[in-house]
Amino acid sequence: MERTFVMLKPDAVQRGLIGEILARIEAKGFKPVAMKFMRIPKELAERHYGEHKGKPFFPGLIEYMTSGPVLVMVWEGENIIAAMRTMMGATNPQNAAVGTIRGDFAQQTGRNLIHGSDGPESARREIELFFNDYELQNWSRSLDPWYIE
């Protein structure tokens, strides 16, 4: 099973979309491994978005990501990284398909509700940034055979 990092950004929290988004992820059959409701410290936000440092939008991105609480999570499932990227929709909500989280709920790239890892290495890096080993749960669900052969 693959794991991925997912974050509901400040706009998702402020707009009351946590339950709606979590319900979509659970209904798909993915399993939560860790969740934490937090306000990201500036230094952690800068490390998380380090690949964008020096770009014109970086200061605004950091200010936004530290402006309010977020829900950081680890989810597990078969091919979950690619599946979550599909469920999230295009980064620019104007290009996101109807039925995706961004396509249904977001209007602008700067307020696109959700972040998800884009590959196995970024998933590992992001999980390690936000969670300690003891916070990651290994557990079995009785429903798993109904989702995966």
- Backbone dihedral angles phi then psi of residue 42, each to the nearest 5 degrees: -55, -45
Whole-angstrom Cα distance, residue 13 to residue 87? Answer: 18
Q: Which residue has the tokens 């609480």?
A: 69
Strand partners, 5: 74
**Amino acid residing at 97:** A
To which H or E segment does residue 114 belong? strand 114-116
Query: Which tokens belong to 123?
Result: 């998933």
Catalytic residue among 3, 9, 102, 115: 115
Instruction: Show the DSSP H helices in the chain as ranges.
Output: 10-14, 18-27, 42-48, 58-65, 80-88, 101-105, 120-130, 144-147
52 is catalytic: no
Catalytic residues: 115
